[in-house]
Amino acid sequence: MATVTLLCLSLSLPGSAFATDPVITAIQQGPTSSMALDANGTLWYWGSNFAGESGSIGNNSNPESLYVAYPVIVKNVSGIESMCSGGHFCVALDRNHTLWTWGTGIFGTLGRDFDNSMSLSYSTPGAIRSIPNVTALSVGNEFVAVLTDDNTVWTWGNHYYGQLGNGTNITCTEELLPSISRTNPDRISYLENVTSISCGPYNVIALTRDGRVWVWGSTNVYLLGAYGKRNYGQLIGQQGTAVPIPIDGIGQASSASIGHGFAVILKDDGMVWGWGSNSHGELGTSDYSETYYPAIIPGVHSITQIITGDYHVLALDDTGAVWSWGSNRYGQLGDGTTTNRYAPVKLNLPRIKAISAKGYNSMALDEDGGVWAWGSNTYGQLGNGERGNRFVDDYPYSSVPRKVIFDRNTLLNKTMNVSSGQTVGGSQTTSGFEVLSAIGALAMITTISGYLRKRDH
């Protein structure tokens, strides 16, 4: 399989180069991109740039600028505390509890006032000021959920599967998809006293102060637990539920993560529980039996963090070791193979302090601030200077964790400065928003989104 070495997209970095890697304090994996946060509150980005997700819009006349294969600094935001990236859009929360969004707004994902019938991209981060005191955020493929300091959840974006949780189930065709998006953030009135939220591709899982677990979005009867079993006949014909459903049989949960049709829970005793779909080994039970009822995942204990991709799971234990199981088609388990694992396997990594996963990708942050990435590299999301091309069926990947390259000294002869509008290597770069480039890029985004949705279902 061929791979393409990318001329890195740079965003007016201070000075000509960094002598050393930045001190990374947080990481976040998206389905088409990766993000990292350094000790100064500076946000780094790499992966897809079809809609200006890097902070500068790509140029269709130069296809290389639609990918960012090395980390670049996102301009016009600072003092960032947390961040997420979805399907070609980004969300960040700063120290003043202000939300910033940028990228494609085709499904209302930016949560800002504009005509969402227009296929526009915004490469400059813009603030959402209609939500009070946001404390946590999570994103799905085409929607956003945030938690505020009054323990309520607000959502916006695509509502095709009921993932906005507003109590209204919508059935529509693919052609009507953009018409059911919601641009303006709105509070979910069905839930109070929420302590944490996590978005999967088309679902949300939330924990409330009493330790209960709630799920809504795309309908998978196993994911909906005992409720799904009781209402199988009614639910099997529905594409989603917009009303949060309680999951019984877990007891007190401390954190949760949700994938494509399955979920995992971490309890205070360090044990992991899972339920839902299991066709790729997502439940880690050594088989592929689906289940309505949450059960302990054997083989891992003393776990401090869990995270899910579309069909795989990562777990971090109190020794700093990382365990993985589930789908491994693109090497996202990081064990050096592409073999699905139906039971947890331990990865060969240094001592890790944080993990992240989304889609078919995984990341880890070691105790020295080094970032490791593995899995799919179609958009350059591994941060190693290479990427593929979905439109010619080029799907490069790495099944072995490799360090992300932040050092600009390796890039001095490979950089195009998009923000300055200068000509580099014979290609005219631009700043701001170019209508023709955006229309072309967003046509690609719409095509990819439709393809992914059909492939996943």
Q: What is the pLDDT of residues 184-220, one digit of tens each?
A: 999 999 899 999 999 999 999 999 999 899 999 999 9
d(CA 290, CA 281): 9
- 86 in any annotated domain: yes
Residue ranges making up the domain that contains 156: 76-368+420-456
pLDDT of residue 442: 53
- 320 in any annotated domain: yes
- 28 in any annotated domain: no
- 388 in any annotated domain: no
- 402 in any annotated domain: no
d(CA 224, CA 116): 31
d(CA 182, CA 180): 7
Q: Taking a C-beta distance cutoff of 8 angstroms, is the pair 357, 332 a contact?
A: yes
**Is the predicted pLDDT of residue 14 greater than 50, yes or no?**
no
Q: Is 110 helix (H, G, I), strand (E, B) or coil?
A: coil
- Location of structure tokens 């991709």: 309
Number of domains in the chain: 1
Q: What is the pLDDT of residues 97-148, one digit of tens each?
A: 999 999 998 889 999 866 544 556 789 999 998 898 999 999 999 999 999 9
- 52 in any annotated domain: no
- 385 in any annotated domain: no
pLDDT of residue 388: 83
Nearest CA among 185, 180, 182, 205 for reference residue 195: 205
What CATH number is associated with residue 94?
Answer: 2.130.10.30
pLDDT of residue 436: 35
Those residues whose C-beta lies under 8 Å from the C-beta of residue 232, and which sit 6 or more positions away, are: 221
pLDDT of residue 445: 56
- Structure tokens belonging to residue 171: 């059935």
Q: How high does pLDDT run on average in the chain?
A: 84
216 HSE (CA, 13 A, CB side)? 25
- 378 in any annotated domain: no
